[in-house]
Amino acid sequence: MARKRKNTRARDKQARRERVHREQRGSSSQPSEEPPPRGDEPPAPATIAPPVQSAVEAAIDEPVLTPIVGASAENIEVACRYWQWNAYGHGESTLWSEAVNSIATDARSIALTSATLTVPGMACARCDGPLVLSSRAAFDRVYRLANGAEESCAGCDESTQVQLARFAEPKRQARRIEATRAAAVREIEAGFRQAWESARSARISDAYRVELTEDDIPEVDVRTEAVALAMLRYAPGSEVIAPLCEWSTPLSASGDGQSEAVASTVRGGLLRIHPQTSLDTFVWEPTSFDQGLREAEGLHHAVKPPELLNRYRAASATHYSPYGAGLGAAAARLDAHLVARLEPAGMIAPRQGELVATGRRGDHRRGPAILRLRAGPTQPSGRTREPPDPSA
């Protein structure tokens, strides 16, 4: 019995010691209580500890791009463009300089086989070797999401190795070589084509300049003068005469004769061809670069330089009057001159006969511009008011 009481006292003593130890440990881990604030004092704001940045987030050096020995300069250029970024950072989406599909076909595979992008100080999660990034997505996982410790290198990533194996297949390589050759040919042809077009522009600049003069305006036949006056009066614009395809009113009832009618004003010296006329309005030999390439049997360097022939599509050309200090003044001066020349009362009999014949050659029902002309006050080109009625 005495032994039982002794054991009971020992257990109670041990229990008390453990209870005190627990109370002491709990009090040391709890902050000391502060007196509650008085009713007229707001409670102190809670203190939030700043987030602790992990070592991976804190210091990841910029990746290093290293060309692979034996890679071609063209492929290394593709790799540089594939890995070129504008901005990146933890928690920020990487801004790449170019979309992958705009760089080259198989740009990722070309980049991985031509250069390595290594993250300094980090190792592959599988082989413990240098962390060579396998894709732009891997770049994001390392630098945006800070998951570099879990990232596998390009050599250990299964999907990357499958893609590179397909990339190395002989048939795919042959197609890439052919595509590269075709692209090089297109680039060479584009250079020759551009040079050929530049030669055309230079010839037009030499042959057709805007040259103004105060010389007397030549006197030509009635129909040519009527056509020139119609072009001044009814063409859109105020200084240059736009091509007939831009007109809202036909120049003459006979569409087939419009080009010849316009050309007569240039031959008669009333109007000149403006240099802003489209290059294809003129007749060339060869007619185009493609025709010259066919004649040269595909040899770009053997294409004949463009030769400007003495012909043009008059209805598609832009014209101007050269008789004045400026284009606007020259148009007004020619307009006044032609109005005076086409005044019936001042015409001699032969010219009056030409005027009647000019009127009979048109179709009044279609209202061509030539038939709408009559003597009157000079009007600026591109007017908005209705032209004189032919029946007046």
| Cβ neighbours around 392 below 10 Å, total | 6
Chain segment 142-197, per-residue pLDDT in tens = 998 888 889 999 999 999 999 999 999 998 888 888 888 888 899 999 999 999 99
Q: Which helix (H) or strand (E) segment is 236 a member of?
A: none
Quote the CA–CA distance of 264 and 16 in Å, as a whole number: 127
Helix (H, G, I), strand (E, B) or coil at 180: helix
CB half-sphere exposure, 355, CA atoms < 13 A: 18
Calculate the CA 149 to chain-centre distance: 42
Backbone angles phi, psi at 12, to 5 degrees: -65, -40
In this structure, what DSSP letter does residue 246 have?
A: G
Between helix 107-114 and helix 73-82 the angle, nearest 10°, is: 110
Between helix 158-167 and helix 107-114 the angle, nearest 10°, is: 100
Quote the CA–CA distance of 234 and 381 in Å, as a whole number: 6
Residue in 183, 161, 63, 62 with CA at minimum distance from that of residue 113: 161
Quote the CA–CA distance of 93 and 197 in Å, as a whole number: 45
Q: What share of the chain is helix, strand, coil (3-state, %, to 5)?
A: 50, 10, 40
Residue 89 β-bridge partners: 92
Which residue is associated with the tokens 């040259």? 211
Cβ(331)–Cβ(381) under 8 Å? yes
Calculate the CA 163 to chain-centre distance: 33
List the Cα angle 202/243/312 in 5-degree steps. Answer: 50
Backbone angles phi, psi at 147, to 5 degrees: -110, 35
Q: Look up residue 96 and give its amino acid.
A: W
367 contacts: CB under 8 Å, gap ≥ 6: 249, 250, 390
28 contacts: CB under 8 Å, gap ≥ 6: none
In this structure, what DSSP letter does residue 60 have?
A: -
For residue 56, count CB atoms less than 10 angstroms from its CB and return exposed for 0-12, middle for 13-18, buried for 19 or more. Answer: middle
Q: Look up residue 251 and give its amino acid.
A: L
Residue 65 β-bridge partners: 117
Is this structure's pTM higher than 0.85?
no
For residue 387, count CB atoms less than 10 angstroms from its CB and return exposed for 0-12, middle for 13-18, buried for 19 or more. Answer: middle
Between helix 327-341 and helix 222-234 the angle, nearest 10°, is: 140
Backbone angles phi, psi at 68, to 5 degrees: -85, 135
User: C-alpha dihedral over 316, 320, 321, 325, to 10 degrees?
Assistant: -170
Chain segment 212-257, per-residue pLDDT in tens = 999 999 999 888 998 999 899 888 877 899 998 888 877 776 666 7
For every one of its 392 residues, what pLDDT tens digit does the chain have, with 9 covering 90 and above? 444 454 555 566 566 556 645 555 554 444 444 455 555 555 444 443 333 334 344 468 899 999 999 999 999 999 999 999 999 988 888 999 999 999 988 999 999 999 999 999 999 999 999 999 999 999 999 998 888 889 999 999 999 999 999 999 998 888 888 888 888 899 999 999 999 999 999 999 999 999 999 999 999 988 899 899 989 988 887 789 999 888 887 777 666 678 888 999 999 999 999 999 999 999 999 999 999 999 999 999 999 999 999 889 998 999 999 999 999 999 999 999 999 988 877 777 677 676 766 665 554 444 445 544 443 433 444 433 333 333 33
